[in-house]
Amino acid sequence: MQPNPALTLNAKVILTTFNGTAASPEECPRGENYWLLIGSTGHIAEAKNKNGRVLVLFDESVSGKGLHCHNPVPNSLYILESDLKAVS
């Protein structure tokens, strides 16, 4: 898949899927149900890493939704570029 040129550092994005799907697995622990963030916006805080993910700093509290967030930047998750859409 070609990289999306609109997904540059500081670009405003919306999460459209998580790990390529729009729905969580049937048995997904509450703290790992990152699909709850679909529709949430944020911005790209770090360029793509070796795993093909960008660090997205979300506008709302990730932990406030009961989700685990272990990254050094609060309210941020490493997300596949293909799960994101640039917004203006």
Q: In the numeric block, which tokens belong to residue 52?
A: 């093909």
Task: Write the pLDDT tens digit of every residue in 15-51.
Answer: 999 999 999 999 999 999 999 999 999 999 999 999 9
**DSSP code of residue 86:** E
The reply to whether 17 falls in a domain is yes
Q: In the numeric block, which tokens belong to residue 68?
A: 């685990």
**DSSP code of residue 36:** G
The reply to whether 48 falls in a domain is yes
Domain span at residue 56 reads 12-86
The reply to whether 3 falls in a domain is no
Task: Write the pLDDT tens digit of every residue in 49-88.
Answer: 999 899 999 999 999 999 999 888 999 999 999 999 999 8
The reply to whether 68 falls in a domain is yes
pLDDT of residue 72: 85
The reply to whether 5 falls in a domain is no
Nearest to residue 19, comparing CAs of 59, 52, 68? 52
Question: How many structural domains are present in the chain?
Answer: 1
The reply to whether 2 falls in a domain is no
Q: Outline where the chain has alpha helix (H).
A: none
